[in-house]
Amino acid sequence: MFTHFDYNQLTILDNKSKIDLGMTKNFGENMEFEDYKAILRRKLTSTYDLSDNYEINGLFFDLYGNYHMRTERYLATKKAVVYGMENNDYLFVKHHEDLNPVDLANYLTWTKESLKLIVFPHREHMSSTITLVCVVENDLDEELIKQIRKSKYHRGFSLGFKGWFDLRLAVYSLKNHSLVTNKKGREVKGLFL
């Protein structure tokens, strides 16, 4: 039986223990990025391998995480594997004072260019997802919000026989504690609020 990581279940667990995660901070005041990063770290540390100050393809990220899941079917013994499936999730968190549409377009271009360095499709690869989170100090303007919501990137490998890739995009404002995501990013929206 194939089991899939349920982000909603993780969110429910986090909502029950908001005090432990530090989510009860007075939202009337500005939250610092380091506080937000610590909250994310506590939420994600049980499922992701996390690293600070990660660099890939010329871009530095404040927080990086990866999650790998492998499911196998076997015959009689675990040594006789019939087939396997792999799902991967890569998380990139970047802090900005301000984010504009040009910066966002550069991140989307970076994602397309860096895909070969991050995702390695093979016969048992089912899916990979890059979750790109930009944390900004200021409010988001309407043009940027529209661009975030319209952003998408999906790619199949070998006509889907070697799996596929999706991009989740989320932008969080520390000033007013709002989160804007693309359509695929709604799956994990609860993790970043």
Kindly tell me the number of DSSP H helices and DSSP E strands found in the chain: 6, 7
Whether residue 162 is contained in a domain is answered as: yes
What's the DSSP call for residue 163? Answer: -
Our count of domains for the chain comes to 1
Query: How much is the pLDDT for 19?
Result: 36
Measure the CA–CA gap between 93 and 130, rounded to whole angstroms: 11
Query: How much is the pLDDT for 29?
Result: 62
pLDDT digit string, tens, across residues 95-134? 988 888 888 899 899 888 888 888 888 888 888 888 999 9
pTM for this model (two decimals): 0.78
pLDDT digit string, tens, across residues 132-184? 999 998 888 888 899 899 988 888 888 877 888 899 999 998 888 889 999 98
Measure the CA–CA gap between 109 and 96, rounded to whole angstroms: 18
- Region 50-71 average pLDDT: 90
Whether residue 2 is contained in a domain is answered as: no
- Does pLDDT of 67 surpass 80? yes
- CA neighbor of 9 nearest in space, from 43, 37, 56: 43
Domain hosting residue 161, numbered range: 7-192
Measure the CA–CA gap between 151 and 131, rounded to whole angstroms: 13
Whether residue 128 is contained in a domain is answered as: yes
Question: In this structure, are residues 118 and 75 in contact, taking their beta carbons and an 8 Å threshold?
Answer: no
Whether residue 1 is contained in a domain is answered as: no
Query: How much is the pLDDT for 76?
Result: 80
